[in-house]
């Protein structure tokens, strides 16, 4: 079965490649939802990214995903600019937040949607550390204004849950779900 990633995220692409999956990338423009309960927004966006690609490729398995960073009920999306990123990082400093990735797997008329949540605690950051991290350029295309797989990992004190989920896809859970479609990421004897 052909696998199609309906995401522009270089991090999701890299994760699938890291675990040896063969796939294509196809992204179609969609209007993302931005208001409502955080989990419902992420679910709607994950499905919205996958559905038009699936309609054009009815025999393929299409993977759409959306990752949200939530602190105190506030969704921290991708920062608009440097000042927005600075505020987000200050808000996260010394605190624990949740990173939830919703994955939508669409095959023909079948839709399988699941989510994974990881708790991430930031160290107490100085203004200088925030400025230094902003200077790396990493924060600007990432929810919550950080990437745990890069310099942003230096801001993290601890995580509870799946590391890969924070990067962009909960790979252990995805491996289980893909098995239902005959795709084995870790072949067994």
In percent, the amount of the chain with pLDDT more than 70 equals 99
Taking only the tens place, the pLDDT of each residue in 111-169 is 999 999 999 999 999 999 999 999 999 999 899 999 999 999 999 999 999 999 999 99
Residues 73/79/82/86 CA torsion (nearest 10 deg): 20
98 contacts 58 by C-beta, under 8 angstroms: no
Q: Read out DSSP for 157-175?
A: EEEES-HHHHHT--HHHHH
Report d(CA 103, CA 120) in Å as an integer.
Answer: 20
CA 7 to chain centre: 10
In percent, the amount of the chain with pLDDT more than 90 equals 89
Report d(CA 101, CA 69) in Å as an integer.
Answer: 9
Determine whether 72 is an active site residue. no
Taking only the tens place, the pLDDT of each residue in 22-76 is 999 999 999 888 888 999 999 999 999 999 999 999 999 999 999 999 999 899 9
Q: What is the pLDDT of residue 26?
A: 97
Average pLDDT, the chain: 95
Is pLDDT at 17 greater than 70 in this prediction?
A: yes
Record the tokens describing residue 144, joined without a space.
């919550």
Report d(CA 21, CA 185) in Å as an integer.
Answer: 7
- Residue 173: pLDDT band (50, 70, 90) is very high
Strands (E), 14-129: 24-25, 61-71, 74-76, 96-107, 110-122
pTM listed for this prediction: 0.92
118 contacts 163 by C-beta, under 8 angstroms: yes
Task: Give the active site residue among 2, 66, 84, 141.
Answer: 66
Residue 72: left (phi > 0), alpha (psi -120 to 50), or beta?
left
Q: What is the pLDDT of residue 189?
A: 63
Q: Read out DSSP for 68-89?
A: EEEETTEEE-S-SSHHHHHHHH
Residue 56: helix, strand or coil by DSSP?
helix
Q: What is the pLDDT of residue 131?
A: 97
| Phi, psi dihedrals of residue 5, rounded to the nearest 5° | -90, 120
Q: Of 46, 39, 124, nearest to 73 (Cα)?
A: 39
Record the tokens describing residue 86, joined without a space.
């600075």
Taking only the tens place, the pLDDT of each residue in 98-124 is 999 999 999 999 999 999 999 999 999
Q: What is the pLDDT of residue 1?
A: 84
């Amino acid at each position: 079965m052909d696998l199609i990633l309906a995401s522009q995220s270089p991090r999701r692409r890299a994760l699938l490649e890291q675990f040896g999956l063969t796939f294509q990338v196809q992204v179609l423009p969609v209007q993302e939802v931005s208001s409502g309960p955080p989990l419902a927004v992420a679910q709607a966006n994950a499905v919205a990214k996958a559905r038009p690609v699936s309609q054009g490729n009815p025999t393929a398995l299409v993977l759409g995903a959306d990752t949200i960073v939530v602190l105190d009920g506030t969704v921290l999306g991708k920062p608009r600019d440097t000042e927005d990123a600075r505020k987000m990082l200050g808000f996260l400093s010394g605190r624990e937040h949740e990173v939830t990735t919703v994955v939508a797997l669409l095959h023909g008329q079948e839709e399988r949607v699941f989510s994974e949540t990881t708790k991430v605690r930031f160290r107490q950051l100085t203004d200088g550390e925030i400025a230094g991290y902003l200077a790396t350029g990493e924060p600007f295309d990432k929810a919550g204004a950080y990437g745990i797989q890069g310099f942003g990992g230096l801001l993290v004190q601890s995580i509870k849950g799946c590391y890969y989920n924070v990067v962009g896809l909960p790979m252990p859970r995805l491996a289980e779900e893909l098995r239902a479609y005959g795709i084995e990421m870790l072949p067994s004897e």
